[in-house]
Structure 1
Amino acid sequence: MESMNENPIQGDHQVAKAELMRGHDHLWNIIFSYVNSMSLKCAAELGIADEIYRHGQPLPLSVLLTKLSILPSRTDSFRRLMRLLVHCGLFARSTAGDEKEETYALTPISASFLVTSKAENMSPFVLAMIDPVDSHHCLSRWFTTADEPSTAFDLFHGKSVFELSGNNPEFNANFNRGMAADASFMAKLILQQCGNDVFGGLRSVVDVGGGSGALATAIAGAFPQTKCAVFDLPHVVSSLQGNPMVAAIAGDMFEFVPPADAVILKWVLHDWNDEDCVRILRNCKKAIPPKEEGGKVIIIEMVMKLENEEDGSIHDETIETQLLFDVFMMALAPGKERSEAEWKSIFLAAGFPGYSITPILGSRSLIQLFY
């Protein structure tokens, strides 16, 4: 009697077909994943989270359309946008009333990071990172053409991101607002998690590359006895004049770093290659006293976790975020995101035999250097 089981050959064919379909869907997901970013940018520009937050409860679609001045002819298109944003976890959808009109509410993500009146608001960072100056479209040309600039950004724009910041006021303002939003958020986390251990007892702190001074201002507010300063390029620190909480010092970190008990480098070293990182850290070493006198360098950066490393505390999404950001930085600047082993090599070359790493967020850590 013939078996009712599936023919092995036919079964193999079905498995192969299923794998092919999954592979096809996965490829499409990668191709169109940028639409998530563009939709997030649209939500930030429209201020969707702000309108829902001000309403204080789930907001009916008809009211949301009116408050955002959405054209009536775009109603169905806006509904489709919200459908994707709900799927991404940025908003929640439900129905209310006799007519079962759809309503939208905030989720923990949008409530925390997309409401502009919140301290943790990251909308400026969203708009700065998802910027039309993106240069990843010419990565393949950059990889395969000799004697091209050091980054794809240079190739795409004919100048570095730092030169563009100095020459393009709009780009510079957007970039600084984005960095300030991130610095404010990180400052709150650091001060809550390890503020006293890191900053307690310091007489002076200088934030190298500190931009608009958000991090230094937060430290000065939490530790009023500590003199805080921001050290950055002249066109950056010009906006700090008149800030009573932090001093503004203009200069080039490759030439010198102002003296202080502690030097902060937040998102600075990942912009530069290993040799330049060593140069910067050597200048930092000249600026601070030894460990016995309380001197330290405080670095806020990613410490990459590779996929073959066993660490149950690291989630797959965190690893993917680090990998994505590393390639993002590859196109933007000559630096990179680094593993602990890569960081250690730089620290030793710069004359810092001692360091500690404290995770402060899933993808980033606080590193303290001593000599």
Structure 2
Amino acid sequence: MSDQQTFEVLIAGAGPAGLLLARRLAQAGVCVAVVDPLLDLHQAAFSSAALPLSAVKEFQLPAQVQAARWHGWQLHGPGDQQRQWMADHDLGAVLDFGGLRQWLADQATAAGAHLQLGWAVRGWCSAASGAIANLRGPGGQERSVACRWLVDATGQRRALLGDPPAESGALVAGSGVEWLLQLPLPQWNQWSERLSFMLGRAWVPQGYGWVFPMQPGQLKLGVCRLHDASRRQPPLHQLLSQLQLRLHLADAPVLDRHGGLIRSTIRRREPHQRGPLLGLGDAVSTGNLLGGEGIRHAMASSEVLAPLLLQALGGRPDALRRYPLQLRRRLGWRWSLSGRLARRTWLGLNSSAGDQRLERLLEGLQQKSSAEELSALLFHYRFERYGWKALPYLLGWR
């Protein structure tokens, strides 16, 4: 990337959202560049990355980025209870997150996008033709790049947009830690073909744990919880070690350790644009707090923004005014409800009353739901399938 280059679009962040947007723009003939401080897209690959099959098909994700398929659910807790829902066909996939980023990067560059790893946007300013972005490279070198539109795809850090103003609603934050384990195939088989979650304060207070299958012989073991400033919360690594011991996985070597944050507003009313700067993915709160999901919703934001940005590049910048509304419609009306449920559900798992509410809900799901219906609830927030009588339990009213 020379000091004199000018791009129509410069994207800060080579995550799934930024790379998918770059691919779509490059395929339309746009001169687009993506910069990211990582030197290797397989690094810092934190994401539980479990998707429903509908998302795998929607984004046409190839087998090479799918570490495993799953067709059931296994829920532990509260306490020692264990419940299972299994289908006779695949319901989704667990992705190799690093592999997904590399595949999207290869797709984007094949379409003509420029990818510069090891570089980060450290600041920007408006210019007559759009924006001037200040970049810093791996050796500390600096350069400026001109662009018509600058996209903040830096995730929950919001490195360019900054945190939303107070009137947009508070950012609700959660932390997660995940380990990649290696174990013998007979033991791995006990966890294969299903997504397993550990629920209740005896497992993870104010959060949840999970075990996801990867390729044969490897599992993801993780914990996540919402932040609660009013309560002292134990360290996540301590909870993860306890989880490993309780699930009889203590002897499994740890191949990788990683962690991350999720921060989203509940109502998603923050600004999506500031002059030539546009927000994408988690930078505009597409991370869903109920299931800790980010990938498919962030990629959906790219599909919403891409055609609007093409119209803006074609001389209709007013088209971008429709971006927040169209993204809200794409995410659906259940979005804000799921955020409120997340706050009530996870923060409420700190007492016997919270465990009892969860127990009543799980008993009802076990009696009335199939694996497919549970997927619709957890991935598509289809609360109405269970009748609105279930909501008081989720919201803590009963």
| TM-score class, shorter | under 0.3
Higher strand share: 2
**Structure 2 length-normalised TM:** 0.26
**Structure 1 length-normalised TM:** 0.28
Higher helix share: 1
The structure with more radius of gyration: 1
Q: Which has the higher contact order (CA 8 A, sep 6+)?
A: 2
